[in-house]
Amino acid sequence: MGDPVKENHFFNQERETMDWEKRKVDLDRRFLKTFQHAFQHSKAYKEIFSSAGIELSDIQGLEDLEKLPILRMNDLVERQKRDLPFGGFDTVYPGRIRRIYVNPGLIWQPGEWDYQDTSWAEGLCGVGFKEGDRIINTFNYHMWPLAFMLDESVKMVGATVIPTGVGNTLMQVKIMQMLKVNGFIGTPSFIMTLTQRAEAMGLDLKKDICLETALVGAEMLPESLRSRIEDKLEMTVRQGYGTVLLGCIGYECQYMTGLHVPDNILVEVVDPHTGKQVEPGSTGEIVATNFNPSYPMIRMATGDLSMFTQESCPCGRTGLMLKKILGRIDQAAKVRGTFIHPWQADEVISQYPEVFKYQVVITRENYKDVMTFLVEFKEETSRSDILRGRIERDIKDILTIKGVVQIVPRGTIPDLHKKIEDRRTWD
């Protein structure tokens, strides 16, 4: 890995390093334009705002942002069921919809005729991609929009994309080797899978594989996993955070001081119960507004917890910066007075490559909270008792409260399970 200063790239350096007060003026203008456009052309927003007693003239800029209701995914889904396909949120002429994406759960999303969102392009540059790179995009191109959004963003950067999608690891390793691919886009677990496949093929990772930079997302990235990938491949691994409906919400630069908020998205951290913005340094739910003229999302809740940092970054970017993703509002649990978040549990388990899958179960016995880590190993081992003891020690050290580990057979924990399942009753 090289000197971070030499690899500090920008998509639009003038805007990304502009004085924050000047950037806020432009952000205010774009927000107001988006709100007025949605109010006048979106059936769904007209109904939502009218139900909240909001008239067009009530919103004059960012100072009125908190007057608007929070938009949650279940509201979008329910409206789509009543008004196919887009729930009335779309504001574009039907003849200008290039694609209809199908997200998991049959959530429809229009793909505009000409992709204009630059948030992911800014993120790509921020993590270290540059003109002329050859980048393998391993996100799924089948029905879902993320791979296409990143594909278009690679073009904006001036790099070349190899659209592989997921699966066929043997072929993907050969592609990386033969084309001397130097960039990777995908999940952290999949780049690790490709690394292990390359090792099994007898390749020298530092000579036969030319990867220099990776943008990973869609999964949590434990620092232990980041270090393993970077050490094995002698490359830089940085995170991007976003959603398909909002675009990129944050990305790491070479300094890893936090998640930089891109120039063309409005991000808040709010109290999920009141919708009011919390102070910098306080934990709250990430809520974002994009400026997509075809499918605007205004104050859309992500369900993710984070906080704004008040620190500045040596890279010179002047925008807001999220510290990191702290978990989900629907999976965090308070155990014996202490909040336990999925990312904390991930941090415990990430130190044990023997673990295939885990789930934290919270119960109550004799009026006391009991936290149990159900753990499946990848294969049977004679060291299960030793590993159990070590994991229980790390639970106490990292989470600061006691937990017990229960080893269960493979297949016990269902797929798509909650990381933290609260089974307590309060009768």
Domain spanning 333-422: CATH superfamily: ANL, C-terminal domain (3.30.300.30)
- State the Cα–Cα distance between residues 39 and 96, nearest whole angstrom: 20
How much is the pLDDT for 250? Answer: 98
How much is the pLDDT for 6? Answer: 47
E strands, 198-276, in order: 213-216, 236-243, 247-251, 259-260, 265-270
Query: What are the average pLDDT values for consecutive 10-residue runs of the chain, which has 427 residues?
Result: 58 94 94 96 96 96 96 92 95 86 87 93 97 96 93 97 93 98 93 94 96 90 88 96 95 96 96 92 94 95 91 94 84 72 85 94 83 94 92 90 94 88 77
How much is the pLDDT for 426? Answer: 58
Span 365-419, pLDDT tens digits? 876 789 999 999 998 888 999 999 999 999 998 887 899 999 999 999 988 788 8
Average of per-residue pLDDT values in the chain:
91
Do 1-326 and 333-422 show the same overall fold? no
Neighbours of 316 (CB within 10 A): 12
Q: For residue 385, what are the contacts with CB-CB under 8 A and spacing of at least 6?
A: none
How much is the pLDDT for 367? Answer: 63
Indicate the helix (H) or strand (E) that contains 269: strand 265-270
Domain limits, the chain = 1-326, 333-422
CATH 3.40.50.1820 fits 1-326, yes or no: no
Q: Enter the pTM of the model.
A: 0.79
The 3-state DSSP class for residue 160 equals strand
